[in-house]
Amino acid sequence: MNEWLYVLLFIVVGLIIPVGAIGVAWIISPKKPNPIKSETYECGIETVGDSWVQFKAQYYIFALVFLVFDVEAVFLFPWAVKLGQLGLYAVIEGIIFILILVAGLVYTWRKGMLEWA
């Protein structure tokens, strides 16, 4: 069970540092509260109403497109690591893969999904 000792050590150290820093600040800091200081935004405007408002659907499409492209990159990592040993064939395959992604990007762009309209 020796290897688990390291994990425990990490957890303990990871807890001590932030708790310690905040605790020390809490102990030694001077406390002089006044109404203006304890507002939510000391130098901003108070929020009005609920923060659960609808976002523009445009953001969703951005997020969805990002999601797909982001995850497809998972295939590029093993490819990039082994590229040197696999030779020309792998390079061509990689190019085809990226071309397909580019086709997707061109489609999104032509559909006007990349505009902040």
Partner 1 sequence: MTQLDFQTLLPLTILTVWACVLLIVDLFIPKNRKGITAVLAALGLAVTLSFTILQIGRENSGYSGMVVLDGFSTFVNALILVSGLLGIALAYGYVKRMGLERGEYYTLLLFSVVGMMLMAQAADLIVVFIALELLSIPLYVLAAFSRTSAESEEAGIKYFLLGAFATGFVVYGTALVFGATGTTSLVGIVGSASNGTSSLLLTIGAALILVGFGFKVAAVPFHMWTPDVYQGAPTSVTAFMAAGAKIAGFAALLRVFATAFPTLATDLTDILWALSAVTMILGNVVAISQTNIKRMLAYSSIAHAGYILMAFVPYGNKDIMPISIAAGLFYLVSYVFTNFGAWGVVIALEKSEGKGLEIGDYAGLGRKYPALAAAMTVFMLSLIGLPPTLGLVGKFYLFRAVIAGGYTGLAIIGVVTSLVSAYYYLRVVVTMYMKDGEPTTEREPMLDFTTAFTAIVTVVVSLVPQWLFLLASNAVLKLF
Partner 2 sequence: MVPVNYYIILSAILFTIGAVGVLIRRNPLVIFMSVELMLNAANLAMVAFSSVYKSFSGQIFVFFVIAVAAAEVAVGLALIVEIFKTKHNINVDEMNSLKG
Interface contacts to partner 2, rule CB under 8 A: 57, 60-61, 64-65, 67-68, 70-72, 74-75, 78
Residue type, 41: Y
Give the nearest distance from C-beta 61 to partner 2 in angstroms. 8
- 14/95 Cα distance (integer angstroms): 44
Interface contacts to partner 1, rule CB under 8 A: 89, 100, 103, 106-107, 110-111
Give the nearest distance from C-beta 47 to partner 2 in angstroms. 24
98 binds, among partner 1, partner 2, none (CB under 5 to 8 A by kind): none
Which of 68, 67, 74, 76 lies closest to 97, judged by CA? 76
Give the nearest distance from C-beta 111 to partner 2 in angstroms. 13
Could you tell me the CA-to-CA distances from 113 to 67, 71, 83, 109 in Å, in that order? 14, 19, 34, 6
